[in-house]
Structures are given as C-alpha cells and as structure tokens.
Structure 1
C-alpha cells in the first residue's frame, strides 16, 4: 500500500486571491497565486497548521520570470524547515514555482504596506 505524499500549508481562498491580485498585479504570463507551503514531502496524515491568517509583507521579483509575495505567518517569514513563507505570484513560461525560494534567497524582497490575508490550512497531494 502506497501512501499519498505531498505538502501541507495554506490555500489562498479565491476572494483573498482576487483582492491581492487587484493590489499586486501579476507581472508574468502565468498567474499562480495559490498557496503558502509549510512542509513538503509529507504524508496525507501530517498535521495541518493551526494558523488561519498571514500578512503579506513584501514582493520578490528576479526580473526574469519569477514573482512572489513574501508572507509572515504567526509573526515570522521564516519557514521552520528553512526558506521564507511566500506565495508564488506569477511565472514566465519555463519557470517553476519552486524557484521562488531561490529568488527570495538570492535577490531578497521589497517591503510593501502590510496586508492581512485569510488562509485555509490544507494538505496538497503531488
């Protein structure tokens, strides 16, 4: 019997997504704006996070096809397993969501006026 693997984190509800897209337009061809990851490579029974909101604090953009919003959860942008809490916002063809982590680490992020956002804890199968 194989167990489903995936990741846990928070889905960005459609109303919150629309509100944030109005404020932070997608710069690249494919709008992602889907979720914030807490832990990757976990099973479906992994505990869901307790937090139900976050605060958008910044914008990261490498100028070459990866745009992400930096998010604080429970007062920190630091993800427990390493990296920065974020929502991959938009991508150019050939670029992947996972690249947001490296873009934030390499280029940093620009602060924006903080925006509180509702988040839905969820398991995402891969």
Structure 2
C-alpha cells in the first residue's frame, strides 16, 4: 500500500496553473514516501518544487525537495507524477524511470503536503 503526502488542494491548484501538464492524464496530487508501508509518514517541515522533467515518452514529473533533500530513503528522487500520456502506467516501474530523468530547468514553488496514508 503506497504511503506519502497528499498535496493540499490550494497548492495543487496553484502548481497546475504554474506548470500546465503536458499529457492528458493529470495525476498531480501526491508525493510517495514508499510503496509498502502502512505507517503514516512523518510531518514535513518544507517542500519545494525545484525542477520539472519529462521523458518525452509520456511521463512528466515535478522534482521536489523535502526538508532540504531530493533523495528518497530508497535512493530515488522525491517527485510528484504530474501527467501521463494515454497508455503509460503508474507504480514502481515509473518511479525508477523518474529517478533517471534529467531536470531541465530549476523552478520553485512552495508546496504544503500533509501526511496521508493512501487506502
């Protein structure tokens, strides 16, 4: 069961205006901490969008810095899956692809994630 932080609706709306999704399937709602835990994640002091990346094959993400780091505990990169092309999947395989993407430009916007256990 995935565990992570849900973006507050006002933050999500502001980010969607600032970073219009490239692909038709808009996700743009959470940052995953891990895919297997059931324990709620710890509170976040600060979260900031620091980059936008796109694999040019249907996966777009915003790179996020959480409490000063972009590194997840599993060694991958904190991110919000922003949008997907039709036929592209979400899940562990996609997360590994994000970890290999190149951040094309540095951008900043405050985000206020709140703890959420996705059920």
TM-score by length of 1: 0.85
What is the root-mean-square deviation in Å for CA atoms of aligned residues?
1.5
Q: Which is further off, 101-110 or 54-63?
A: 101-110
Give the whole-Å Cα distance in 1 for the aligned partners of 2:12 and 2:94.
18
User: Is residue 31 from structure 1 mapped to residue 26 from structure 2 by the alignment?
Assistant: yes
Closer, same or farther: CA 112–100 of 1 in aligned 2, 3 Å: farther
Name the structure with the higher strand share: 1
Q: How many pairs are equivalent?
A: 118
Partner of 2:59: 66
Task: Pick the structure with greater CA Rg.
Answer: 1
Partner of 1:123: 117
Instruction: State the shift of 1:100 in Å.
Output: 4.1
Unaligned runs of 5+ in 2: none
Partner of 2:46: 53
Closer, same or farther: CA 67–77 of 1 in aligned 2, 3 Å: same
- Extract structure 1 runs of 4+ deviating beyond 6 A: none
User: Is residue 42 from structure 1 mapped to residue 37 from structure 2 by the alignment?
Assistant: yes
CA distances 1:48-103 after superposition (whole Å, capped 9, x unpaired): 22215300000110111100000000100000122110000000111023354233
